[in-house]
């Protein structure tokens, strides 16, 4: 037989159980007051973060949407925004695989020109960072790989999508990259000259003439070749190169 205290506790437990049960079976109007977490709502939240330059937050939402709804109506746009967010946040190692996967799976997508342009931007920035960071000539070629890839990306865009709104910007960036890559070859050629590796220096300069003939490094390449031929006592080749230099750079 319960005493008064036991009856009070028993009654209290029943009341709590009823209250919890009522909460869990609340009518639909109570649920509707909760924030809408549909894919569309989550995507709009990610777009707002992108517009506010809050790329890390946007990436968190977009990656979640991509994994949860890989074939949904927003899937392609989510992937496009995600690669942009990766790029803007400097996460190039995540951006390139996302871009390459999109190109592979969507070869006829209407925004493929933008994706190729984005690939060029990522590679260009990757190459810029590597160029600023390398300290040894032996690593120089590897460090410039991003810039070379960026040039290929922009060239592909200009050739395949000449009427793209990104085409003119791609051409401008190609000019910058052309001068940068050519200057890089000159740096290496001068290094070889200091080490008396004259044949290697000539080869670097020939590469500039063949592939970067529109750059501002052509004159310097010819000058190095003349000096190298002189050191190698290849007087006829020296004379020919002097003639080319005089014809193209009379000053």
Residues in the chain: 251
Q: Model confidence over 201-216: pLDDT tens digits?
A: 999 999 999 999 999 9
Give the residue numbers spanning the domain of 79: 37-106
Cα separation of 212 and 218, whole Å? Answer: 8
CA distance 29 to 41: 19
Specify if 60 maps to a domain.
yes
220 is a domain residue: no
Classify residue 43: in a domain, yes or no.
Answer: yes
Q: What is the pLDDT of residues 7-19, one digit of tens each?
A: 545 554 555 554 4
Rounded CA gap, 93 and 227, in Å?
42
Q: Is residue 226 part of a domain?
A: no
Distance, in Å, from the CA atom of 164 to the CA atom of 118, rounded to the nearest integer, reads 13
11-62: pLDDT as tens digits: 545 555 544 444 444 443 433 333 457 999 999 999 999 999 999 999 999 9
pTM: 0.75
Residue 86, domain member (yes or no): yes
Asked whether residue 78 is domain-assigned, the answer is yes
| Number of domains comprising the chain | 1
Which range is least confidently modeled, 18-27, 94-103, 187-196, 210-219? 18-27
**Residues 181, 144 contacting (CB under 8 angstroms):** yes
What Å distances lie between residue 154 and 82, 174, 242, CA to CA? 21, 7, 34
Domain-located, residue 6: no
pLDDT at 106 over 80: yes
CATH number at residue 96: 1.25.40.10
Q: Is residue 72 part of a domain?
A: yes
């Amino acid at each position: 037989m319960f005493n008064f205290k036991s009856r009070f506790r028993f009654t209290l437990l029943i009341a709590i159980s009823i209250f919890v049960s009522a909460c869990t079976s609340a009518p639909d109007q109570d649920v509707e007051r909760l924030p809408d977490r549909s894919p569309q709502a989550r995507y709009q939240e990610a777009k707002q973060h992108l517009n506010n330059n809050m790329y890390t937050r946007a990436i968190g939402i977009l990656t979640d949407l991509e994994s949860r709804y890989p074939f949904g109506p927003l899937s392609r746009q989510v992937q496009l925004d995600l690669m942009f967010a990766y790029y803007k946040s400097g996460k190039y190692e995540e951006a390139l695989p996302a871009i390459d996967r999109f190109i592979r799976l969507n070869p006829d997508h209407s925004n493929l020109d933008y994706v190729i342009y984005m690939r060029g931007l990522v590679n260009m920035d990757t190459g810029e960072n590597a160029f600023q960071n390398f300290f040894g000539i032996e690593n120089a070629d590897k460090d410039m790989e991003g810039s070379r890839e960026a040039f290929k990306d922009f060239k592909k865009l200009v050739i395949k999508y000449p009427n793209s709104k990104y085409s003119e910007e791609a051409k401008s960036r190609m000019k910058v990259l052309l001068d940068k890559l050519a200057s890089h070859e000159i740096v290496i050629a001068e290094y070889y000259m200091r080490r008396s590796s004259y044949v290697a220096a000539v080869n670097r300069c020939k590469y500039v003439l063949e592939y970067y003939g529109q750059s501002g490094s052509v004159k310097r390449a010819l000058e190095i070749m003349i000096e190298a031929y002189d050191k190698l006592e290849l007087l006829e080749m020296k004379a020919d190169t002097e003639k080319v230099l005089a014809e193209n750079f009379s000053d």
